[in-house]
A and B are shown apart, each in its own frame.
Chain A
Amino acid sequence: MTMTIRVIGIENIEDLADDLRAMPVKEAREMTGVVREGARVGVSLAKDNARRTQGKHAKLYARTFSASTKRAFFGFGAAVYSAEYGPEAHGQGLLAPILERGTRNNPPHLDLAKSADVIGPALVREVRDALDRMFW
């Protein structure tokens, strides 16, 4: 991953120093937002896949999908922002293991895996853009 740093119109190096001091605070807010949006987009993609593949026996499956943002973790010199999405463990959401990877008699649907193919690289770009914005 590459990061572009643009510094424009700085009259005094102390302005940059001030900006740098403000960054950890801005970063926490920005990254939480990026991760939350990523999970929202991910769940809508996964839901679309599920609606397409669920068939008549699991027609309530897609409705159990949800996304949630977890508490950020700060420590050991790192910050971890996380969110998760997918079927909830109730009702037809409990069919997830069977539908996602299939069984002896049913081919795998891979609804979540396919959504991750799309959202994974997009999230990387979003994180990079958010870092870029810190310097503006």
Chain B
Amino acid sequence: MNPEADATAIIAAINAQFTTVRAFDMSDDDVKSIDVDHILVTVSRRYVDEQLASGEVPIPGGRVVTRYVAKTIANVYTLRSRTAAAIEDQILTGDVGPFSFESDEVPGPDDGWISAADVWTY
């Protein structure tokens, strides 16, 4: 598993829901200068226990955090629903996914913006 490659696939899938680029990798250098409503994506590996009685170790998994940053709550919800449409239960090109919802965070003030987050596992 390569978190960087997976992040690229996830960001592409989310951006396909919009007419302009909205999703960015949070580790991009220029992320702080974005001045439109946007989605910040982080991908990290996670420990996956052996789950099969045979002792077979399943493929390694990951955890995705999508943070929706907008000027209004309505736009935060729009970013959230489009992101869910793009990745929830989907398997992206390169066998990335399927993504299951893990937890979320309600919208709140965040550095002059309003932001909320969803956490997904795959």
Q: Which A residues have a C-beta under 8 Å from some C-beta of B?
A: 2, 97, 101-105, 107-108, 110, 113-114, 117-118, 120-122
Q: With A97-B105, A103-B111 known to touch, is A114 a contact of B67 (CB < 8 Å)? A: no
Residue of A nearest to B68 (CB): A104
Q: CA separation between A101 and B103, bound complex, in Å?
A: 10
Number of A-B contacts (CB under 8 A): 54
Asked if B77 is at the interface of the complex by the 8 Å CB criterion, the answer is: no
The digit string for B99-112, where 1 denotes a CB below 8 A from any CB of A, is 00011010000110
Q: With A2-B53, A101-B119, A118-B47 known to touch, is A110 a contact of B63 (CB < 8 Å)? A: yes
Q: Is the CB of A103 within 8 A of B115?
A: yes
Q: CA separation between A103 and B48, bound complex, in Å?
A: 26
Q: Which residue in A2, A104, A113, A121 is a CB contact (below 8 Å) of B69?
A: A104
Of A104, A108, A120, A121, which is in contact with the most chain B CB atoms at under 10 Å from its CB?
A: A104
Which of chain B's residues have a CB closer than 8 A to the CB of A103? 67, 110-111, 115
Nearest CB of chain A from residue B65's CB, rounded to whole Å: 5
Residue of B nearest to A1 (CB): B53
Q: Which B residues have a C-beta under 8 Å from some C-beta of A?
A: 26-27, 32, 40, 42, 44, 46-51, 53, 63, 65, 67, 69, 102-103, 105, 110-111, 113, 115, 117, 119
Q: Is the CB of B46 within 8 A of A107?
A: no
Nearest CB of chain A from residue B55's CB, rounded to whole Å: 13
Q: With A110-B65, A113-B63, A117-B47 known to touch, is A105 a contact of B42 (CB < 8 Å)? A: no
Q: CA separation between A22 and B51, bound complex, in Å?
A: 32
Q: Which residue in B42, B53, B102 is a CB contact (below 8 Å) of A102?
A: B42
Q: CA separation between A136 and B67, bound complex, in Å?
A: 51
Q: Is the CB of B49 within 8 A of A121?
A: yes
Which of chain B's residues have a CB closer than 8 A to the CB of A105? 32, 111
Q: Is the CB of B47 within 8 A of A104?
A: no
Q: CA separation between A105 and B113, bound complex, in Å?
A: 11
In the A-B complex, list the 8 residue pairs whose CB atoms are closest, starting with the nearest: A121-B49, A117-B47, A108-B65, A101-B117, A104-B110, A117-B46, A104-B111, A104-B69
Given contacts A101-B65, A104-B40, A105-B111, 10 further A-B contacts (CB under 8 A): A101-B67, A103-B67, A103-B110, A104-B67, A104-B113, A107-B27, A113-B103, A113-B119, A117-B46, A117-B48
